[in-house]
């Protein structure tokens, strides 16, 4: 039996609604698992229009599993050698299969000149914090979001 093939490719505008649906289900799974303090997710997480805007604002990668859409990742260039992971999500029916970890490995390889990766995640989300820390990210601070959750700021520095 062949292992499922995870790949990244540029997200397409016609996928905005599908990406919004996968994103909504992925972020809503935090509530279903009793992790989230209440319903909701990050800005635009369930909006096809927001997904389409992010395809222009950053590099929006579709995460595929054997060619089928399984999630998404949005990367922003912050300066020379510095990229921010604005968001990553995987279809909750595919959680705990290593897809997110494989997607992150592919993202790191897609940006070979990046020496500093940054991201943020809610302080309450132990699941994502463990995921990022397992990838070598280190908590470097916290930020309070007006009207939103408190966030942990993460960084991953690479020697190149």
DSSP letter at 37 equals: S
Report the predicted TM-score, pTM, of the whole model to 2 decimal places.
Answer: 0.92
Give residue limits of the domains in the chain. 6-157
Q: Per-residue pLDDT for 26 more than 70?
A: yes
**With pLDDT > 90 as the criterion, what percentage of the chain qualifies?**
75
Residue 103: what pLDDT?
Answer: 98
CATH of domain 6-157: 3.40.630.30
Residue 30: what pLDDT?
Answer: 74
40-44, 105-109, 154-158 — which is least confidently predicted?
40-44
How far is it, in rounded angstroms, from Cα 49 to Cα 47? 5
* Residue of 115, 114, 155, 118 whose CA lies nearest to 138: 155
């Amino acid at each position: 039996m062949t292992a499922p093939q995870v790949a990244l490719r540029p997200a397409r505008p016609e996928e905005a609604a599908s990406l919004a649906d996968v994103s909504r289900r992925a972020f809503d799974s935090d509530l279903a698992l009793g992790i989230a303090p209440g319903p909701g997710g990050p800005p635009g997480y369930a909006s096809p229009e927001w997904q389409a805007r992010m395809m222009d604002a950053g590099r929006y990668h579709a995460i595929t599993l054997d060619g089928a859409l399984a999630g998404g990742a949005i990367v922003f260039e912050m300066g020379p050698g510095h990229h921010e992971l604005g968001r990553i999500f995987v279809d909750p029916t595919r959680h705990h299969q290593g897809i997110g970890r494989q997607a992150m490995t592919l993202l790191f390889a897609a940006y070979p000149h990046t020496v500093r990766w940054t991201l943020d995640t809610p302080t309450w989300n132990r699941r994502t914090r463990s995921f990022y820390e397992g990838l070598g990210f280190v908590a470097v601070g916290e930020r309070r979001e007006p009207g939103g959750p408190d966030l942990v700021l993460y960084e991953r520095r690479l020697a190149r």
